[in-house]
A and B are shown apart, each in its own frame.
Chain A
Amino acid sequence: MRENLHRFFRAARGAGVRLSPAESIDAMRAVSKVGFADRTVLRDTFLLTLAKTQDEKKALGDCFDLFFDQPEPQSPPEDSKANQEDQSGSSPSSDSSDDASGGGEQAEGLGQLAQMLLAQDRNQISAAIANAASAASLSDIRYFTQRGIFSGRILDRMGIERLRDDLDNLAEANPALAERLTNALDGLRGTVRDTVSQALMLYGREEAENLRNEILRNAPLSRIEPRQVEQMRHLIRQIARRLRERYSKPRKRQRRGHLDVRRTIRRNAAWGGVPFLTAWKRRHRDRPKIVALCDVSGSVARVSDFFLLLIHSLHEVVDDVRSFAFSGHLIEVSDILESKSPEEAMAEIMSKVGFGSSDYGNSFDDFEHGWMSAITPQTTVIVLGDARSNNLDPRADILRRIAERSKRVVWLNPEGRMAWGWGDSEMPRYSTFCTVVRQCATAKQLERAVSDIVASYQ
């Protein structure tokens, strides 16, 4: 049973539930208290001890159902080796007992697997599959490409070699039986394939997910396929959460600083200098100030989703962010981002200013007239956009004034450096006024860029 628990933990990890050894120890302690008898209680116990979020509970619950749906190996793994030898080698002594179970007199001289198949004893077959599966360490399966290998291994262990010989022999002597056996073999192959697929679902998900995430991280945001968008969002949200975990703590630390001796003494003069009331030095700290300008025009439509998602998380990480979105003209979107969930906020922003053809000059002009006062010498201005202004006046002069007022201007461009300056790209002109210019085409680059910006405030 212990072995089984460990296999379950491995399956749970595969299902995306993060399990540390401490948690598995807890689970084992808990299980030792409730026992295995009641499956629903066992399920609740695992959900309580292992899963830490609602999502994890769901994943773990599914995993539990899938896992305990499998027939358990009938004999412990140590014995299985002996069993296989029995199965693969033709052992006449054990044949006699199987014959009686319904194989018929034709089955004589056949291998054990053949007899088992002909007998059509489902329990026996599934037990044999389970034994062979654990002998082939099926729980090591990680990638879908390994399915064939494991199926083959399991069938080998069950004695398929012998079965082939039997089939060859029977083809001449008893064609009808041979056909029955062939059909049964096909059925067996199917069952083994299902077992392997199930194992892959149980144990292989984590690797598959890691691989997929890694690919996604480095994939160009603008070329993400629609079906990957949801995964990408998930990934960006993970990035945002990591950012928040990493950076939101120090922001609040030390609200109360050291004892302010001078003020304490002055305050307590009335009590003869006995300090009943204490005064504390407040740590002075410039509040982080970020102004984000996000291009949501048609040319960057696919990327702007992710930009907005990241700005949204920026609002969660840093206190003082003001965000603006533009394509033809510019509006402030701070309130929308702060009060709504990412999806709602993005939908609203896109419906207000999205998808138009971009006009950087006009949008900068809007900004200068409406919100220039928002920029102080402590402000970092982030511009997210491809700097393609449809051959309209880029108004680089406004960016210069923004740069002069602010601490620095960071431009994140989803296009590769090669494309800057070609066609209607005004990047070279703008970049003279930017403190940092970065290509920002993949989730990884986006993460690093934002992480750098936030880190510089800590």
Chain B
Amino acid sequence: MHSTHVLVCGGTGCHSSEGDKIRELLAEKVKEKGLDGHIKVILTGCFGLCESGPNIVIYPEGIFYSHVKLEDVNEIVEEHLQKGHVVKRLLFKESYVDGVIKPVNEINFYKKQTRVALRNCGLINPENIDEYIALDGYQALSKAVTEMTQQEVIDLVKTSNLRGRGGAGFPTGKKWETAFKYSADQKYVICNADEGDPGAFMDRSILEGDPHSVLEAMAICGYAIGANQGYVYVRAEYPIAVHRLEVAIEQAKEKGLLGKNIFGTDFNFDIELRLGAGAFVCGEGTALMESIEGKRGMPRVKIHRTSHKGLWGKPTIINNVETFANIPVIFQKGVDWFRSIGTKDSPGTKVFALGGKVKNTGLVEIPMGVTLRDIIFDIGGGIPNDKKFKAVQTGGPSGGCIPEKYLDISVDFESLAELGSIMGSGGMVVMDEDNCMVDIARFFLDFTVEESCGKCTPCREGTKRMLETLERITKGEGTLENIDTLESLSGTITIASLCGLGQTAANPVISTLKYFRDEYEAHVNEKRCPSGTCQSLLEYFITEKCIGCTKCARNCPVSCISGEIKERHVIDTEKCIKCGTCMEVCPAGAVIKK
């Protein structure tokens, strides 16, 4: 029996800082000391606190070590595992305050979270199906296929009121029912694991940390609607996720949990992987189907619902990874339990990828209805370097920027939409006073222009014109008229585009214009970028802090700095190319941007 479990994070973040090597070395040392009988070392999925990785948690006490290095392994083994002395210098800073050691579940970052979709992430070894099964995995599937009718399965999902986590929040049970009621010789289930949203990685973490929960849910959906084939459409950019899915499918097949005659019934269900190839628009349901069919991933004109005519013209259910991850646990713990979390109209939780200018960047899962302030300041720990919060962007390129005065709104589908943003897939990027909102709008339009599939003119041409206009403004060549143009284009593109990409492309512009119009005006009227981001509008300036060391003058590539030794230097702003070298090399911090 293993009484101590050492969990080493194997998520992408920690992996990149040698998490896997740390696990190997730990296991080796544990064996060397003859402790392997009662100490088990496991590589898990992401713990969520990627910022402080590589991370290790030791159970049963829940001791949380962060920023662990290979050199630290010996000490952890000899001090902690052998002698039972916690290695204080390696403790995560918030779990060791005023001489008191707090276990992992009592630190602020985790205290306000409720882990439903991420329930197994960071707890089990994703490459070992037995660990999933030990935590009641595949019980929901067993119950569904052996004890419930198709309608009963659908009713359960319907009454749970689970809403899709891939963006629009469409009720999952209702969608399944449509496909169930439509008769056809063949039906399909697709898991949308494309996650093209820049700044989001929750689907990746679920696939990497708990792939079986997704497979199990897909099979339940297959049973409910009467499909025998499932596809996971996953980004090729996620090699670890692809690998773990392959392993998981293999193991589930070996155990007879996928394949023919599941649980001795006549229900058959198989799952295959299909790799995406780097096109954001392929996350859109119909485009994704085109791509699986081996074509350019362009959205279809929707004459029919995909739950009637989807992949190869057959009824198809497409759900997001996180949506699926919620399903098995709803069967295990019941509808009432699920509905007791979150709000009435948005029950359950939502996973966010919290990034940008926030201290604890990482993955967080919160009950719906928690406020933005709670997420950013409590769980996220606030803004680093004593900077001021400016905005939070939710929903990626289809979403918007929310200013400080709305930080206390509840996070659910409706409240975010009211502010002109959306929940989207769950990217949440925090911006501080150094980020220029016009530049952020430009950044998203640049993304849209690159990713538009080109099928419809408003999206293809309109976004391009918007981008050019925004570029002109950030270069200081904009006029007030340009702002009007942006507004009218936004309206047209939103109503005249075929798919969600075009329909929402203007959102970042609309929301920044609404909440940060003064920044646009500063750019066009005063030719000034208030946050100091837009290069062309900046001037470098040497203050009286200058000690006259001449370093800047010697390094300036266009020799536009003059001054005597030990005297204050001056920049000829006419000639300056704004490369920033002087600021980088100045030992006295005398060069500023304004």
* Chain A partners chain B: no
Residues of B within 8 A of A (CB): none
Residues of A within 8 A of B (CB): none
